[in-house]
Chains A and B, each alone.
Chain A
Amino acid sequence: MADLTDKQKDDYWRYNVKLTTILLVIWFVVTYLISGLWASWLNQYSVLGFPMGYYMAAQGSLAIFVIEIAVYAYLMNRKDEEFGIREEA
């Protein structure tokens, strides 16, 4: 067992829960609001020649998902190191 004190365990887990929540809120807004319920309204604007609502559903949301997961991996792996529970492999 990694030698974390109870306080460290708490801090680590709280950080994880906070990060997870933020990412899920972004995920929800991007998918269900921007690319869903608000898409029709957003279509009056355009990005790169695309109606914005369509663009977000077809392309923007995908790019955001990739970035979100990469950010999650980066931050959590950094947190492991900070708490001395980074694995060798």
Chain B
Amino acid sequence: MSLDKIFGLYTVSFLAVTILIGIGELAFGLPNRWIGWIFMALSLVIYIVIGVVTRTSNPDQYYVAGRGVPAFYNGMATGSDWMSAASFISMGGALSAQGFAGLAYVMGWTGGYLLLAVFLGPYLRQFGAYTIPDFLSARYGGTSARLIGVVAAVACSFTYLIAQVTGVGLIVSRFIGLDFNVGVFVGLLGVLFCSVLGGMRSVTWTQVAQYIILIISYLVPVVYLSWQLFSIPIPELTYGRVLQQNNSKAIEITRDVNEKETRALWKKDADELNAKIKAGGISEAEVDKLKGQAALAGRQATAPAASDDAKISRYLTVPTGVGMWNFLALTFCLMVGTAGLPHILTRYYTTPSVRQARTSVAWSLFFIFLLYFTAPAYAAFARFTIYAKLVGTKVAELPRWVTLWQPAGLFEVVDKNGDGIVQWADFVIKSTDFVVLAMPEIAGLPFVITGLVMAGGLAAALSTADGLLLTIANAISHDLYYNVIDPSASLTKRLTITKVLLVVTAIIAAWVATFRLSLIVELVAWAFSLAGASFFPALVMGIWWKRANKAGAVAGMILGLGITTYYMIGSRFYGLSWFGTQTIASAIFGLPAGFLTIWIVSLLTAPPPKAVQDLVVSVRYPKSGQGTALSAQGIGLGQH
């Protein structure tokens, strides 16, 4: 059976099962908890079955899926590899809260693919290695470049992995009611089954299956809302009107007398708390707690719109000055980070040809675009529904979704001025994650859609975890153990080590996730700057400039990483500030430093050997015999 038939049938069956569950709910009163269980069990079984069917011990299959993944499917796999729990769950809500400034994420996480397409993807495919450190070692020679690559790959992938595992735990615990720590380990089963049994091959096909689930579940609620409000099922076309209505509603709310009263009460709270902090004489932990409360009260006291501004609300206001600098810098860092993350780059090793690698980047971004193009609409519809269905209702008669989701602790409704009516300032948002998760219920959809959204979030988190886990295990077993420590290790031994590492890494990640460190979310954002500053300059220079040599690359990677880390830690913990740049945009300094260093140091030292320079040139032309060049250098590709 052809791939198209298999995945076509799969999609149809998935939709059919969803409809059946829906009928079960509406006609036979299937309880919510059961629906949650069915969706989770169903998706885990799908992933495990794919893992078992595609198991392999052939190294080409295990590391790069036999280089046989067609562009279209590699695009889907990259899409779900790329879109994590954060894209799926948090982006809609973050946009709804942050307005224009939040768009840095939307642009950064998509525009990076252009850099990947023109600078890296096709050339890496032509080079034909197994991992990114493989490329660094072949291009620059020796083990030092490879080792720095291993350290950087593990550093950015591991923090990212913990965040995915945390996402799995949150989803499982919220929808099924399992304990968070149990949920984490249940979810890992789904990841481990496929990566251990079939490496990249299983991970690829599981990711395709996961993409299909995640995109269906993301689009259904918002398409339905758009249809319900405007009779047009394309939210991208209708949310402009929603934004304008939100805007006038925000101005109306700002002028409302009761609203003003509520805000004044919050303001009073904030002032009192601040006075208390200023007065001193309390412990540091207490001060932190009060500061948090004061910030929250301050936020609630802020009006949703400037009352004299009838045209553009704050929500759409473009930042200026330092705000604009940070917006641009963050967009840039997210872009180069996207093009430098190893678990994404290795996906382009798996296509059959350079030609398909190029097409595959286009498909990847198209599949990612389907979700990102919809996210701002999600945000606007959420705000609209909250304005329409919550503001002005009686506190005694809250909508069903509020009572359903309030226990989850993501938001709270308090009657600040005690008038029995919900004002906008009475709605206390603690985490904007509720937007995507609760949207089906906010829109009044049956619970089966909530179950679907849960399956989608789970797919997003698991698929990214898959790719990351494999990157970490391969960096350690293939690059560190096989290529540096024991080059004579047999194939069986290498694969066994990889499998053991997969399990061990997964368990460590799950164990770290159970601590629920609040720093994790921040660390993920850091991963982009780290990947951008370490890999991007060395890879781009290695491909585009044949004169770049080992000394330059090693110095450039160390300096790029060093400056980025220095600014990150300095600005986050010690009040360091260069041009007011925020911590997550640290690569804006490390990246140019990396490029400059590679350039200057390379020119000051001897050029790379002629064989390497010829190799760099040959990579420019598809169908040239680079395979021999690689194995001649002892990369070990021709050995099976």
Residues of B within 8 A of A63 (CB): 369, 373
Does B607 sit within 8 A of A, measured CB to CB? no
CB pair A89–B352 under 8 Å, yes or no, is: yes
Query: Known contacts A2-B624, A57-B107, A80-B622: does B373 contact A65 (CB below 8 Å)?
Result: no
Q: What string of 1s and 0s marks CB contacts (under 8 Å) between B113-152 and chain A?
A: 1100111001000000000000000000000000000000
CB pair A85–B327 under 8 Å, yes or no, is: no
Interface band, chain A: 35 or more
Bound complex: CA of A23 vs CA of B320, how far in Å?
27
CB pair B324–A85 under 8 Å, yes or no, is: no
Does B485 sit within 8 A of A, measured CB to CB? no
CB pair A69–B623 under 8 Å, yes or no, is: no
Q: What string of 1s and 0s marks CB contacts (under 8 Å) between A47-76 and chain B?
A: 111110111011101110110111011001
Does B362 sit within 8 A of A, measured CB to CB? yes
CB pair A72–B620 under 8 Å, yes or no, is: no
Residues of B within 8 A of A23 (CB): 114, 118
CB pair A36–B244 under 8 Å, yes or no, is: no
Bound complex: CA of A23 vs CA of B354, how far in Å?
19
Residues of A within 8 A of B113 (CB): 65, 69
Bound complex: CA of A16 vs CA of B353, how far in Å?
18
Q: Kindly identify, within residues 19 to 35 of chain A, every residue whose CB is under 8 Å from any CB belonging to chain B.
A: 20, 23-24, 27, 31-32, 35
Q: Which of A1, A36, A55, A66 contacts B324 (CB under 8 A)?
A: A36
CB pair B110–A36 under 8 Å, yes or no, is: no
Residues of B within 8 A of A53 (CB): 318
- Which A residues are within 8 Å of any B CB, using their own CB? 1-2, 4, 9, 12-13, 16, 20, 23-24, 27, 31-32, 35-37, 39-40, 43, 46-51, 53-55, 57-59, 61-63, 65-66, 68-70, 72-73, 76-77, 80, 85-89
Q: Which of B111, B356, B622 contacts A27 (CB under 8 A)?
A: B111
B contact face: mostly helix, strand, loop, or mixed: helix
Q: Which of A2, A54, A72 contacts B621 (CB under 8 A)?
A: A2
Q: Which of A51, A57, A85 contacts B623 (CB under 8 A)?
A: A85
Q: Kindly identify, within residues 330 to 370 of chain B, every residue whose CB is under 8 Å from any CB belonging to chain A.
A: 331-332, 335, 352-356, 358-359, 361-362, 365-366, 369
CB pair B359–A73 under 8 Å, yes or no, is: yes
CB pair A86–B358 under 8 Å, yes or no, is: no
Does B8 sit within 8 A of A, measured CB to CB? no
CB pair A35–B621 under 8 Å, yes or no, is: no
Query: Known contacts A31-B111, A43-B312: does B106 contact A37 (CB below 8 Å)?
Result: no
Bound complex: CA of A78 vs CA of B402, how far in Å?
56
Bound complex: CA of A44 vs CA of B240, how far in Å?
14
CB pair B362–A70 under 8 Å, yes or no, is: yes
Does B618 sit within 8 A of A, measured CB to CB? yes
Does B508 sit within 8 A of A, measured CB to CB? no
CB pair A87–B624 under 8 Å, yes or no, is: no
A70 to chain B, nearest CB (A): 4
CB pair B362–A86 under 8 Å, yes or no, is: no
CB pair B354–A36 under 8 Å, yes or no, is: no
Residues of B within 8 A of A68 (CB): 114
Does B19 sit within 8 A of A, measured CB to CB? no
A14 to chain B, nearest CB (A): 11
- Known A2-B624, A69-B113; further 8 A-B contacts with Cβ < 8 A: A13-B620, A40-B318, A43-B312, A65-B365, A66-B365, A66-B366, A80-B355, A87-B622
Query: Known contacts A65-B113, A66-B369: does B621 contact A4 (CB below 8 Å)?
Result: yes
CB pair A57–B100 under 8 Å, yes or no, is: yes
Bound complex: CA of A63 vs CA of B244, how far in Å?
22
Most chain B CB neighbours (cut-off 10 Å) among A24, A54, A68, A69: A69
Residues of A within 8 A of B317 (CB): 40
Residues of B within 8 A of A12 (CB): 620-621
Most chain A CB neighbours (cut-off 10 Å) among B113, B316, B369: B316
A75 to chain B, nearest CB (A): 10
Does B415 sit within 8 A of A, measured CB to CB? no
Name 30 interchain pairs, CB-CB below 8 A, sorted by A: A2-B621, A2-B623, A23-B118, A27-B111, A31-B331, A36-B324, A36-B327, A39-B318, A48-B237, A49-B243, A50-B240, A54-B103, A54-B316, A55-B240, A59-B373, A62-B373, A63-B369, A65-B113, A65-B365, A66-B362, A66-B365, A69-B114, A69-B117, A69-B361, A70-B362, A73-B358, A87-B622, A87-B623, A89-B353, A89-B355
